[in-house]
Every structure is written in structure tokens, then in C-alpha cells.
Structure 1
Amino acid sequence: MNNFISYLRLLLLATSGMLLLCIIFAMNPELADGTLSGRVCWFHFTSVLLAGGVLLMEFTTQKSRFIFSLPDVLLLLLFGIVLVSYNKEENLQPERFLFIAQLVALWFMLRGALQAHQELRPFFITIIIFTGIVPAIWGIGNSINPAPSTHPIFKLLEISLKPEPFYGYIAIIFPVCLNTLLRFKDCDKTAVWESRTFLFYFSAFGATLIITALFFNTNEPVWIAAILSGIWVCWMRMIGWKQTKEAIQRHNKLFAISSIILFVIVTAIILAGNIRKAQAGDRRLLIWNITTHAIMGHPITGTGIGGFPTTYAKEQSAYFKTDIASTKEKRTAICPLYAYNEYLQIGLELGIAGLLLFIFWLAFSLYYGIKHRQIGASGGILALGIFALYSYPLQLPTYWVLLLFLTVICVTNPKHDKQREQRSIPYISAIAAVLTCILFYGQKDSYYTYKEWKALQDLYHNQAYEQAANRYAGLFIQLYHRTDFLYEGAECFCKTGQHDIAIMWLDRALKLSADPELYYAIAENKEAIKQYQEAESYLLEVSRILPEKGYTYFLLAKLYADPSFSHPDKFQKAAKKFLTFQPSTQNKITKEMKKEMLQIIKSRNHNK
């Protein structure tokens, strides 16, 4: 009976952990935003399954083995800052806040599971490698033949993987593959039935596919992350700290010169990655610059999670009023949802204290990985840390799940120290499992909410606005944190003449995003109810945030040409600004707008 419970416990933990790691393949076309919402729902359900396994583990073992480490404390402190800094009145990102709480609970469940069952470690590493092999195959196939495949499996993979920067994902898994390959390189190459030999060939296959897939990608940050983490793994496996220290003492001058040269090379590669595509590089540098200024405005408290887009837009508007801003910066400016640098975004949303705690949590996880000889997992953390300098991986649930597994593998001691048993705290994992179940219950209806929204989107796209408007209103409480939902609902209300409700929804959306389309939609509704000055103020606000966006001046000119709000001088300035505006690409819509503006000018001159 005891053996049966032990096998059942291990089976449940292994299966739920495997399903969690396979979140990258999760998507549901029946849900609105099926890739992201499908993965979040998958995370909810698989976390509950893991919670069941952890509860079974806690109450069928004689003694809990959970021992607190410094990363555990740092993670709790970081969540404390998230809790304190979150704006509960505005409640900008309730789903994300809940997800962060579930991640903390997941961390402690995984820590307890790995401490109790060390045999789960190689199993999870094998699954991690598998989750890198499939995207690598898809990336190679898509690069060779960009035409979409008709096979339903590849259609599913295309929908599931394409919206996410999965090249960064496979770059993070590359050092895990490389470490496993080097670790088992001395295995019996002919004994394919042995686990060591299987892992050797499996990791070699994965590393080869990932390198091949990366060859088709010209994204420098991905290459930097893969190369530097690969060098780290090779160094730790083939040389190590002791031999390196001895070599430095024997050749200290050569080491100093080599370090300087390596630093210059890495810096040059990083700069080349930002400058190679001039416009994209300038845009990213501008985003980093504006975000840094915004951090200085909220150094202690931060804005709270979800506060980045609107805070960034206000700071960009203020920056463009100064003489420092160049014309090139104004031309390339956008209103981003992310800072394209996770450290800057965390610094803005959680303050400098939150940023330091996050960095310390990563650093000490890496330290414990070195201490416990978890070279592959520590290399994965290093790769993700580098990739996070240039992208937004931590805004996606897939990367968070991968990061938690890698950090837990690093922090959990593979050789349980019996002398520290007296310092263990009982039932920590059980408490985390119970918390996971409670959090799951709090969002149990989210699946059906997104499914209903998907049905409403069909009505919206079929222009059945009157039928959709009332049903959109019924989902407002559940989805008032989704900008796209608010925009769709507002358009339904606008088309049915309910402009006041549309404005209310769009005002809420502006607290979540600074997308210029939201400003345009509010201006349209304000103009429809004869509130011309307020419509003008929203358009002028866009012109301050994005000074070189021609469509803003087109709408301003049309507003000033309205007989009920006629401003000839303002019309002349806005029309001139629009007509002299030269977009990067001339398309049919741009030509039609210019033709319409010339007709308005001609009509006004004729009526004088």
C-alpha cells in the first residue's frame, strides 16, 4: 500500500510538472485572444493538479523537508512590494496580480516537491529540452517554407508559437541542452536503452536543432543570450572555478588584457544589435531613455503593475516639449505596452527596491545553481537574464513558468543535508497548495468569460453592434482590465448612438494603454455629442505624445473644418502639417486622406 501511494504521488507530481512546462503548446481557439488566455487557463488548471500532488505528498510523508533559503525570502519580499505598490482602487491588472500570486505559490510547491523527490530533477530537465525541440523544428520549417502548412498539427503550432518570441525561448533552453550533452558525453554510445545514453543523444539532437533554428534568425539579442550562456556552460563543465583561479594567478596580465578585449567585443555586439536597424534601434533607445526618466519620477513606490503604458506616455509627452528631443526621435516614437527591457519595466512598476529584489533573487538563484552544480539550469537563468535586457519575456506566462522551474532546480539542494533537518519548517508546500486552490477558485469562471467574449467578437466583426452591445456590457466587470475588450465594446456603443457609455469605456481603456486609437475614438464620440473642445483636447494630447503622427493632424483639420466648430487659422495649421507629413510608406489609405484634405481645402476656398 505504501509503495502504491509513493508511486501515485510521484506520478501526479511528474505529470502535473510536465503539463506545466508544456504551457508553450497551450492555446484555445474557442477563447478570445486564444494564445494568451489559453495559456493562462492552462496554467490555472495544471497548477491545481500540481497542488493535489503536493497535498498528497505532504500528508503521506512522515516529515516535511522544506528548508528556507535566501531566494525564498527574496521572492516573498518581492511579492510584498507587488502587493503594497498595487493600485487597488484602479485595479489595472487583476489577472496579472492573481498570476503573480499563483507564481509565488508555484515556487514553494516546486521547492517542496524537488526536496522530497530528487528524481524529478532529471525528468523536468528532459521535458524542458523537449519544449525547446518542438519550437526549434517549427522555426526551421517556417524559415525554409514560410507558406502555412495545411496539416492541422502545424496549424496549431503556428497559432500557438508565432505570436511569442519563441527564438528567445529556445535560446534559453540551449544551455540546458549543452550542459546535458557535456555531462553525459562519456556514456556508452551504443547502449541506447540506458538513461545516460538517451539523455546524451536527446540533448545533442535538441542543441543541434536550436543552433540550426537560430541560424535562420538575425535577432542579435537572441544570439548574445545563446552564445554567452553556452560559453558559461562550457567553461563551468570543462574548466571550472578552481582551474580558472589558478590560471589567473599564473597569467594575471594576460587575463586582464583578455577581459578588456572580451568586454569591448561584447559591448560592440550589443551596440551593433541596436544600430543595425537604425529606426528600430533609435526607437528602442528612446523607449529606454523615456522609461529611465519615468523611474526617476517614481523611484520609491513605482506605479504598480500595469502602470507602465500611461506613465510612459505622460513622460514621453513631457520629453518632447523640451529642446533635447530630436526630430528623428519624434518621428520614430510609439506608445509601447512594454519597455523592451524587463529590468527598466520592473523598476518603473515596482520602484528601485522592487528592481533590486528581483535582481538579487535572480543572482542568488544563479549562485545556488553554481553551488549545487546545476550548470544547465544556471545557464538558462543567465540566458533569460540577458534576453530580458532587450525584450519582454516576463510579460508572457510561458517564460515565467520556465524561469521558476530553472530557479527551483538551482536553489533546491540535490543532496539533502540531514544536519539541517531541525531547521526545516513543516507544511510550507501544503500551505502554498491550499493557496493555489483558493486562487483558482477566485478565477474559476475566467474560461467561460473568455469564451463568451469570443462569441461577442464574432458579432462585433459581423457588425451586429446592437445585439453585441448589451452582451458586452454584461462582461464589463470581468474584463474591464482588457483594452481590446473595452475598445470593441465602446465601438458597439458608438455605432448604436450610446456615446456617453462609449466614452466611459474608452476613458477606462486610457488608464491601461496610451494607444492613439483610443484617443481618436474618444474624440469621435465627443464630436458626435457636440463636445468639440473636449474632442480637440484629446487629439492635441496625441499630438504631444506622438508629434509626427500624421493621422492626428488629419482629424484635427477635419474637426476645425466642421461648421459648428470652425477655426480657420487652426485648420490651416493642421492641414499644412498633415499635407507636409511624409510617412515612411505611402499606401492607398494615405493617398485617400490627402485627396480628401485637398477637397476640403478646395471647398473652403470656394466658399470664401
Structure 2
Amino acid sequence: MRYYDLISCYAYYLFLRNVIRAEKTILAIVLGVSLAIFVNTLYGCGQYFYVFESFHSNYALTGSFFNPAPFAGLIAVGSMFSVFLILYRKSLYRYITNIKARKTIVKFLYYLTVLNILLSIGVLIILQSRASWLAFIIGTSYMVYTKVTQKIKFSIKRYGYIATTFVLIAVCTFFFYTMRKDSADGRVLVWKISTEMLKDFSFTGTGLDGYKAHYMDYQAQYFAKNKASKQEIALSDNVVYAFNDFLQFFIEEGILGFLLLVTLIWFIFKQPKSIVRNISTCLILVLSAFACFSYPLQILPLKLIAFTAIAFIAFSAKNKQEFKLPYAFMRWQILSITIAWIGLQLYNAYSLHTGYSIWKKAFDAYQEMNFKESISLYKNSYKYLKTNGEFLMHYGKALSLAERPQCSNLVLHQAEQYLNNTVVQTSLGDNYTALEGYPQAIQHYQKACDMIPNRLYPHYLLAKMYEKQENFTKAKQEATIILQMPVKIPSIATYQIREEMKELLRMNDKPDTK
């Protein structure tokens, strides 16, 4: 899916490069994006006041996304367009000419922009996304700095502003850390384990989307060494993002890809000072700040904003070079190849859309426990989504619950190549149990336990497997682990598991037979 995101972003960039011929066009784009952010902010407010429905049952405010984090990032980054319009309004609105109601339009745009910023701040406060808050503060401070330093001639005042800004950011960072310490420490744990991945993949990289295929294996290895603290065990969970896009990009693309990314950012910031350069560098700076603690490179709207900034910089660059093909027939050849390639990508995109549509129907049937219908639909969409780890996981789980363990194993082992987590491992364990492959079942249950040691269910499955094999010593060890675990969220299932483990300890006070 990210492959098609990149194609979309590149096509969008080429479109902007051909459209942007003057600063007037940039003003129109900035106004357009600001309006889009304003609409999204209003939509979020509507969700908060139950006018519109949220896309996640656990969160009242998600915007047009499935969870609040991407929405907060979009608001934080997108609001920089409004900050830019406020600070540079005199320079920008001079392009609004030959209109009788010019003053009225300028005033209307000014008040609308102020309202947009205020609404954005309000939504960010409600969302409580510390990464987006920090990004917003850094971006606003930088934008104010670019404006103020135009008038400040003395370097002492400049350095004073910079020092004050750094102190403010440091204080805010400390406050945000203490605000939700467990969440921050959880991300530190992910970074710590991700650095182990970096040691193995620093040169070649895992490839696009390879992070989520490998990370949980490294987390399992980390906890299997029994060197983790109790806090780290309590904070562990299934992970698909590194919560640091620079780190994840390095792991996936290797050192060469990472150096290209750093070079691109350096190129953007080295451009001569101008109004266009200021908004471009601000957008990249805010995205970079947000990327240090979240995953904007996985969110298409934020990637489009990044490519917008790159297109702005390309327009303002002084040393531009145009490449022209020397012969007309070469132009027609390249045009023909391009058209054929676009046609192929459109066909692939249509196939992907078809696969996702069938997948949704299959998942709905799965939720209704109609496994026969669900498996039939999953089978139909397999040819479109056979490299999608989440799809393969759902398909394999449906086959497992339908008591087709051999088929399920084939799909789940394929899923491991694209996405690996406790659901995949426990499902494989269930399948091997049904096939009486007990050593393999124990191996997968143990891996699920190592992936997330604080989860009761994998330990429960492992205890039952040891009991089935009459290995009562290890069964009691797992039962003891379960009973010593703190209960995060009390439930009927948790109570039943704990009671069953107490019974196991009482009933199996006898020597092992195996």
C-alpha cells in the first residue's frame, strides 16, 4: 500500500512543479490547504460534540482517520499554513488585486485564519497528543523567528530569542514526558529494541514495510533474555511503528536511503532566505519534530504536505536546470512508456481496491461468526492482497477458527513474512495443537509469551499445553506467572483464567510423567 502512496506523492509533486509558476500560485495553494485543515478541524469539533460519528469506538475525536494520533499530526502541521498567512499577510495579500472588495476579502481571510488557529489549538488540547503539541510549538517559534529576525539587526537579540525558544522547548518536552510517563517510557522501549534491529539491517535495510515483519521477533528475543525490568514488561505491546520515523526509515531503507533523506532535508534548509523558503522549511521542521515521536511518513496527507514543501523549495531554488531530450522520437518513446506504466499502476490500484472491498465483507462475516462465508470471501481477495500481513493474519485466524489448521498454517506462516505478532503466534500454536504437533505448539505459544510477557492468554495457552503433556512442573510455573501478574483491566475472561490456574496448582500436586 505504501508503494502506491509514494506513486501518488510523486505524481502530486510533478503536478505542483508544472502548476507553480509564480508566488501567486503558492498563495492559492496555502489558502487551499488552510481551508482543508479548517474543514477537518470543524469535522473534529463535530465529532467531539457528537454531531458526527467517530471512526474509532474508543475515541470520540479522530477526524477523518481511524485514531487520534494522525489527526493531531495533520492539525499541528497543517496549522503552520495559517500561522504563515497571519505573519506574512502583508506580503501575500498584495497578490489579491483588481478586486473591488479587496479590503473586505483580506479582512475575512485574516479573521478566518485566526479562527482556524484557535480551533486548531483547541482540538490539539483535547487530543492530548504531546508529539503534535511539541511540533506545533517548534513550528510556530520558528515561523515567528523568521519574521522577527527580518527586523532585528543585532545578533544578541537573535541569540536571545533562540536561547529563549530552546528553553521553552526543553521545559515543554519535560512537561510532556511527565504528563504521561508510561506512554513515553513505552516509546523509549520501542526505540531501545529498534536499535538492535538497526545493527542487523543498517546496511541493506529490511525493505519497505519490513519493520513490522521483524520488530516483534526482536522484542521476543529481548524479553527471552530475562534482563528486562518489570516496568518494561508492563509496557510491552504489539508494535508496527517505531514511533520515530527517522529510525524506522533507517531500518527499512538502510544507510544509503537514510543519507538520501538527510541530504534532501539539508538541501531544503540551505536555500537562500525568502518567504517561500520560510514556509517550506517550517513545514519540514514541524514534520521532522512530529516524526521523532510518531509516524507521519505512514500517513498519506502528511506525506502530501511534505511533497508540497519540496515543490515550493524547487520553485524558489535559484540554480534550476531543465532537462530536454535531444530527439523528438525519444520524447514519444518515453511518453509511450510513461502512459503504459500509468495504465498498469491504475489497473493495480483498481485490483487493490477490489481486494480491500472483498476483505471488508469477509471481515464483517467473520465478526458475525459466519466462518464459511468469511473464508470464501478471504479466498477471493487473496490474489489481490497476498502480501498484506494484516489480511493474511485475519485470513489465517478465520481458517483456524473454522478448524482447518493445515490451511491456516500455510497462510499464517506467509503472514509472518509481512506482519508478526501475538495473534499470529497463538493462532499457529492452536493449529499445531489441533494437529497434535505439541512441540511446535509450545514453540509458538512460548514466542507469543516472549513477545508480550504481560499478556495472560499466551501464558494460559502454554500452561494448558504443558498440562496436556503432563509436564506439571512447567504447567505450574506458567500458572504461577499468571497469578502473579497484575490485572490491568478486570474481566470475566481474566477471572476465569485465574481461577482455572488456581485449580491447576491445587490438582496437579504430583510428579511429572514426562
Q: TM-score range by the shorter chain?
A: 0.7 to 0.9
Verify: 1:379 aligned to 2:286, yes or no.
no
Task: Verify: 1:586 aligned to 2:502, yes or no.
Answer: no
Counterpart for residue 430 of structure 2: 524
Residue of structure 2 equivalent to 1:247:
154
Secondary structure class of the residue paired with 2:16: helix
Q: 1:212 to 1:156 in 2, by over 3 A?
A: closer
Is the CA contact 1:487–1:505 (under 8 Å) kept in the aligned structure 2? yes
User: Could you tell me how far apart the structure 1 residues matched to 2:214 and 2:273 are?
Assistant: 39
| Contact kept? 2:426, 2:444, Cα under 8 Å | yes
Corresponding residue of 2:112: 202
Query: CA contact under 8 A between 1:174 and 1:230: conserved in structure 2?
Result: no
Rounded Cα–Cα distance in structure 1 between residues aligned with 2:135 and 2:265: 16
Whether the 8 Å CA contact 2:375–2:398 is kept in 1: the answer is yes
Deviation at 1:528? 0.4
Distance (whole Å) between structure 1 residues aligned to residue 337 and residue 293 of structure 2: 33
* Structure 1 residues 497 and 319, CA gap change in structure 2 (3 angstroms): closer
Aligned-residue CA RMSD (Å): 3.4
1:122 aligned onto 2:21? no
Of 400, 408, 432, 2:311 maps to: 408
Give the letter aligned to residue 417 of structure 2: K
Residue type of the partner of 2:242? Answer: A
| Matched residue type, 2:398 | C
Count of aligned pairs: 496
Change (3 A) 1:539 1:477: same
Matched residue, 1:80: none
State the one-letter code of the partner of 2:384.
Answer: Q
In structure 2, the residue matched to 1:561 is: 467
Deviation at 1:425, TM superposition (A): 3.2
1:570–1:150 distance in 2 versus 1, CA, 3 Å: closer
In structure 2, the residue matched to 1:575 is 479
* Corresponding residue for residue 84 of structure 2: 179
Call closer, same or farther: CA 1:579–1:133 in 2, change over 3 Å: same
User: Which of 123, 137, 141 matches 2:42?
Assistant: 137
Q: Does the C-alpha gap of structure 1 residues 106 and 526 become closer, same or farther in structure 2, counting only changes over 3 Å?
A: same
> Would you say the 8 A contact 1:554–1:575 is kept in 2?
yes
1:104-128 per-residue CA deviation (whole Å, 9 max, x = no partner) reads 343233222324x765322221111
Q: In structure 2, what is the Cα distance between the partners aligned to 1:431 and 1:136? A: 43
Which residue matches 1:353?
A: 256
Identity %: 20
CA contact (8 A) 1:369 1:378 kept: no
Q: Bigger relative contact order, structure 1 or 2, given CA contacts below 8 A and separation 6+?
A: 1
Q: How does 1:386-397 map to 2 (within 5 A)?
A: 386-397=289-300
Distance 2:306 2:51 in 1: 31
Change (3 A) 1:444 1:166: same
Match of 1:231 in 2: 141
Q: TM-score, normalised by structure 1?
A: 0.73
Compared with structure 1, are the counterparts of its residues 234 and 257 closer, same or farther at alpha carbon in structure 2 (3 Å cutoff)?
closer
Deviation at 1:357, TM superposition (A): 1.4
User: Contact 1:366–1:410 (CA<8 Å) still a contact in 2?
Assistant: no
Cα distance, 1:287 vs structure 2:
0.7
Tell me whether 1:218 sits opposite 2:128 in the alignment: yes
Asked if the contact 1:465/1:492 (under 8 Å) is kept, the reply is yes
Q: Distance in 1 between matches of 2:7 and 2:337?
A: 10
Tell whether the 8 Å contact from 2:389 to 2:417 is kept in structure 1 after alignment.
no
TM superposition shift of 1:489:
1.9
Match in the other structure for 1:55? none
> Could you say what secondary structure the match of 1:412 adopts?
helix
Classify 1:133/1:504 alpha carbon distance in 2 versus 1 (closer, same or farther; 3 Å).
same
* Equivalent-residue separation in structure 1 for 2:63 and 2:141 (angstroms): 33
Could you tell me how far 1:605 is from its partner in structure 2?
A: 5.1
Who is 2:192 aligned against?
A: 289
Distance in 2 between residues matched to 1:324 and 1:272, nearest whole Å: 29
Contact 2:206 2:253 in 1 (8 A): yes
In the other structure, the counterpart of 2:328 is none
- Aligned pairs for 1:4-19 within 5 A: none
- Is 1:542 the equivalent of 2:448? yes
Shift of the alpha carbon at 1:400?
1.1
Query: Contact 1:176–1:379 at 8 Å: present in 2 too?
Result: no
Contact 1:137-1:213 at 8 Å conserved across structures: no
The one-character-per-residue Cα deviations of 1:271-303 (angstroms, maximum 9, x if unpaired) are: 432332121111111111111222122211111
SS in 2 for 1:302: coil
Equivalent residue runs for 1:432-447 within 5 Å: 434=339, 435-447=341-353
